[in-house]
Structure 1
Amino acid sequence: MASFEDASEAFLAWLRNKGVEISPKIKLEDLRPKNAGRGVVAVQHIAEHELLFRIPRSAILSVENSLLSSEIPAATLNTLGPWLSLILVMLYEYLNGNASNWSAYFGVLPTQFDTLMFWTEDELAELQASSVVDKVGKESADEMFLEQLVPMIQEFSELFFAGDARAKQKAEEMRSPANLELMHKMGSLIMAYAFDIESSAPPKNIDEDGYASEEEDEALPKGMVPLADMLNADADRCNARLFYENQYLEMKALKPIKAGEEVFNDYGPLPRSDLLRRHGYLTDNYAQYDVVEISMDLVTDVATTAGIWDESRLEYLQDQEVVDSGYDITISEPFTLQESLSPELVVLVESLLLLAEEFDRLKRKSKLPKPEKITSKGAALLHSIIKTRLSQYATSLEDDVQSLEAVSAGASVTSKERRIAMAKAVRIGEKKLLRQAEEALAELIAREGGAPKRQREVDEEGDVEMGGTGKKHRA
């Protein structure tokens, strides 16, 4: 096995051979002392908008660029979708070892992961009631691998194990736990490093503002972009971005970068729970994107206990895009209920609390309660929902903070201790957010508790004034 430095040199040579242009003002550096693996660092001052490197589209590890795509019919690969088809291609290239055109690239990609897919059951349990646990999906992924990937590998075993007399047997052995783990590793590499690759051709369906249709956005193929994926990410210090041109992908500086500074990309507004799930690490500057999900089941249970759950109202609320599987509470600074509570959750609660004649009137007018106007009864029900959500965690916020501080103050920790500490940090962030919502709702209830019941605004016809939810996307 090549050393860390030798693997880096082989990778850089491979990049040059692939036609990748790299500015002499940057270098690939060993950042393991900072627990950051490899990274890209400036060795000279870099101006804003300056080109850092240019990658030919042919150097992207994608379904289109793999030899496999010339052997397997496109229609067959398309049945897998962008995610599974790229896993299949990466398996093919990985199993080809040094014979693969991408072997030097695989040489610098990680082989060990801290993503949640590889956590043990007791480690996952440390996340407690965080909804991120339900997003791991290891069993469903195993099922997809066994039902879709393995049969295709068996069908084309002579391609995957070319020249091997045991090709069919090796294809059958892909069902083994060790090979399923290999598939999970390929999937984790894609989750952590892959980019959605914009087509070199302009989208067919563009709206008046120049945006592609949602269907075309969802259909974007995924690809591994060598060198671009060596950049570490930072929500606050992002100073570079990947731009898509017809023949190339170009990484350019978004601001001046001084010699000695690291070049950072950004994952976007990613909550720390998803940062951990997808990339296997945490950093405090992504705390600004933390999210807590309130499940529809929880809302149903609390509303049923309160005696206000009404199935007959759901159909209308579904038509109005109010009903969802879950509702987000997000960070706002300073914290406000209007900014942080999902408007759909507020509308759902207020709709359930309406008298029958009020609800029927708004239904006839195709209107909804205004999400920015939380009534005292609505605040009380929301407060009960938040308290119930907070009670789902097994430990208190104060205990978590104290135990995490003890770990931080200690000596070096094991991998398991590090994972447990990251789990605590995730649930601390979620509990803080729930606590803020709980306190804000309690203040609202206290403020209005002694006052006469607030009347809703009425329109010129004497009807209750309603409005749209101003639906915002969940993180």
Structure 2
Amino acid sequence: MDSFNEASQAFLAWLRGTGAEVSDKIELKDLRNLQAGRGVVATQDIQEDELLFRVPRSALLTVDNSILASEIPKATFDHLGPWLSLILVMLYEHINGATSNWAPYFNILPSEFNTLMFWEDDELAELQGSLVLQKIGRASADENFKKELVPVIKEFAGVFFSGDERAKERAEEMASPQNLMLMHKMASLIMAYAFDVEPANSSKVADEEGYVSEDEDEALPKGMVPMADMLNADADRNNALLFYEEEFLSMKATVPIKAGDEIFNDYGPLPRSDLLRRYGYVTDNYAQYDVVEIPFDLLTHLATEQKIFAQDRLEYLDEQGVIDSGYDICASDPYTIQESVSPELIVLIETLLVPADEFERLKRKEKLPKPEKMTTKAAELLLQLVQARTSQYATTLEEDTRTDADVNMEGNDTLKERRFAMAKAVRIGEKVLLRKAEHALRQFIQDKSMESGANKRQAFEEEARPGKKQRS
């Protein structure tokens, strides 16, 4: 048995030792030939609702379960918030190495990452035009680590590096590029693997499938759930779901699973750009969730050029909750403007275009234009906006699709070649959405023009009808 599988077996033995239950019908399998690391595969047929594994809450890697929680004041963790607090705890457990309660778990977690945080400049350049580049935030994360985490580690150096004579010196070294990279790796593990953990005594109500609403979900503490994070994800083939119970977190089959089939979780409706940013890969199964963002700054720039920029109108829209940093154009089937274009974007454009007296009337009644009643002028401005957004990419859709855009995860392509291919897949997805929006808007404008022409003809014919008094 090689070291990779030995680590898997040691992890499973440790997991069972925590009181976890793992079905004999599943196994942790080496899927590196598919660029998928480890995965969970059925060894026997599994029925719907059958338990796959059950992990006690005490085995979860959370702030509360770490020894560090009893050594550092709660106020410190409260100040850091759930994200930085878990990074701090994972740093502590990682530095403790073999003495950590989660050492066998850390041994199966990846040490190398394919997420955008770790791409080279020439690789990131392949994503030019995609606003996912603005979400990486490596420089701001470095500053945040230095400002928030390093001072805590320095203050509690004796705890963090317990028994080490160089504790203070090691704490000072945590601001080095090497240790900042370690913090990024812990953050990447959390981004890729952590779950929002519903407390056992929570008063929040989950639905019949075990989900809590999105606004409630944001307030939940984060935690690493051993074994649950070994499941790969698939938007179409997801066949398992994690359920929160009083003492355990249980993964159950949501459909019958045949022997030999991989068991998949689901990340939810993530566009491929975010799939790449958070998890380091893309798959066509998530193309249905692709999104291209129209930045607010691009709209204000175009509005200024068109001489329709009005600060008072933007302030009113801000009061009404319409102003955002960007607006989505997403997929729909069949593709329609109303289903695919953010209604807030249409409202914003219409508000900038309405005559002054109409705007004053809307403002007086605290109302907004109705996005489903988009005017021709708004469609024309939106079309210009889509065209301006398209021009921000370094290549055209035709240039990108001239060659094969498939991401080969099983071949002999180098890491750089796969990254280039994944970047191309992301930008193609975004350009396809822009192209569809452009075609739909052109059709909308054409239909409105024909409708207007028909109305004018009808009015003319009625005016010229025999026996009707003519205008002087």
What is the TM-score with the length of structure 2 in the denominator? 0.92
Question: 1:378 aligns to what?
Answer: 378
Post-superposition Cα deviations, 1:70-107, rounded to whole Å, max 9, x if no partner, equal 11111111111001100000000000110111110000
Counterpart residue number, 1:157? 157
Give me the whole-angstrom Cα distance separating, in 1, the residues matched to 2:454 and 2:84.
54
Q: Which amino acid aligns with 1:310?
A: A
Residue number in structure 2 paired with 1:463: none
Separation (CA, whole Å) in 2 of partners of 1:402 and 1:68: 55
Separation in 2 of the partners of 1:10 and 1:409? Answer: 28
420-429 vs 354-363, greater mean Cα deviation: 354-363
Tell me the residue number matched to 1:234: 234
Are the equivalent residues in 1 in contact too, given 2:406–2:425 (CA < 8 A)?
no
1:291, 1:134 → 2: CA distance?
15
Partner of 2:37: 37
Unaligned runs of 5+ in 1: 456-475
> Alpha carbons of 1:29 and 1:214: their partners in 2 closer, same or farther (altered >3 Å)?
closer
The answer (yes or no) to whether the contact 2:154–2:171 under 8 Å persists in 1 is yes
Q: Per-residue deviation at 1:132? A: 0.4
**Corresponding residue for residue 73 of structure 1:** 73
> Which residue does 1:15 correspond to in 2?
15
Instruction: Give the letter for the 1:148 counterpart.
Output: E
SS of the residue corresponding to residue 371 of structure 2 reads: coil
CA distance in 2, matches of 1:409, 1:165: 47
Output the amino acid matched with 1:200.
A
Deviation at 1:404, TM superposition (A): 4.0
CA contact (8 A) 2:31 2:37 kept: yes
| 3-state SS of paired residue (2:402) | helix
- For 1:318-467, list aligned pairs within 5 A: 318-405=318-405, 412-452=412-452
CA 174–236 in structure 1, closer or farther in 2 if over 3 Å, else same: same
Cα distance in 1 for residues equivalent to 2:247 and 2:228: 16
Q: Work out whether residues 242 and 251 of structure 2, in 8 Å CA contact, stay in contact via their aligned partners in 1.
A: yes
Code of the residue aligned with 1:269 in structure 2: it is P
2:199 is matched with: 199
Q: Which residue of 2 aligns with 1:126?
A: 126
Distance in 2, Cα, partners of 1:146 & 1:45: 50
Q: Against the structure 1 CA distance between its residues 447 and 261, is the aligned structure 2 distance closer, same or farther, given a 3 Å change threshold? A: same
Whether the aligned pair in 1 keeps the contact of 2:400 and 2:424 (CA below 8 Å) is yes
8 Å Cα contact 1:154-1:171 kept in structure 2: yes
**Percentage of matched positions with identical amino acids:** 64
Residues 446, 231 of structure 1: alpha-carbon distance in 2 compared, 3 angstrom cutoff: same
**SS of residue matched to 2:260:** coil
Corresponding residue for residue 179 of structure 2: 179
Runs of 4+ with >3 A deviation: 204-207, 210-217, 403-411
The Cα of 1:403 is off from its aligned counterpart by 3.6
Q: Kindly state the Cα deviation for residue 217 of structure 1 after the two structures are TM-superposed.
A: 3.3
Q: Residues 52 and 252 of structure 1 are in contact (CA less than 8 Å); yes or no, is this contact kept in structure 2? A: yes
Q: Against the structure 1 CA distance between its residues 73 and 34, is the aligned structure 2 distance closer, same or farther, given a 3 Å change threshold?
A: same
TM-score, normalized by length of structure 1?
A: 0.91
Is the 2:236–2:285 contact (alpha carbons within 8 Å) kept by the matching residues of 1? yes
Aligned residue for 1:461?
none
Stretch moving more, 169-178 or 398-407: 398-407
Q: Does the residue aligned with 2:111 lie in a helix, a strand or coil? A: coil
* CA distance 1:206–1:112, shift in 2 (3 Å): closer
Partners of 1:82 and 1:185 in 2: CA distance: 17
> How many residues in Structure 1 have an aligned counterpart in Structure 2?
452
Q: Deviations over 1:287-339 (max 9, x none)?
A: 00000110111111111111211111122211221111110001101111010
Q: CA deviation at 1:205?
A: 9.3
* Aligned match of 1:265: 265
Determine if contact 2:408/2:418 at 8 Å carries over to the other structure.
Answer: no
Question: What secondary structure does 1:80 align onto?
Answer: helix
Q: Which residue of 2 is the match for residue 309 of structure 1?
A: 309
Aligned-partner Cα distance in 2 for 1:159–1:105: 22
Matched residue type, 1:101: N
Matched, 1:56 2:44: no
1:366–1:407: structure 2 CA closer, same or farther, 3 Å change rule? closer
Are positions 1:254 and 2:254 aligned together?
yes
- For residue 448 of structure 1, report the CA deviation from its aligned partner: 2.0
CA distance in 2, matches of 1:410, 1:263: 19
- Separation in 2, partners of 1:406, 1:82: 38
Deviation per residue, 1:189-209 (Å, 9 max, x gap): 0000000000111326999xx
C-alpha separation in 1, matches of 2:292 and 2:109: 32
Say if 1:454 and 1:408 are closer, same or farther in 2 by CA, change over 3 A. Answer: farther
- Residue deviations 1:204-227 (CA, integer Å, cap 9, x gap): 6999xx997876533211000000
Q: 1:266 to 1:211 in 2, by over 3 A?
A: closer
**Is the Cα–Cα contact under 8 Å of residues 272 and 282 in structure 1 kept in the other structure?**
yes
Q: Is the CA contact (8 Å cut-off) linking 1:269 and 1:289 kept in structure 2? A: yes
RMSD (CA atoms): 2.2
Partner of 2:166: 166
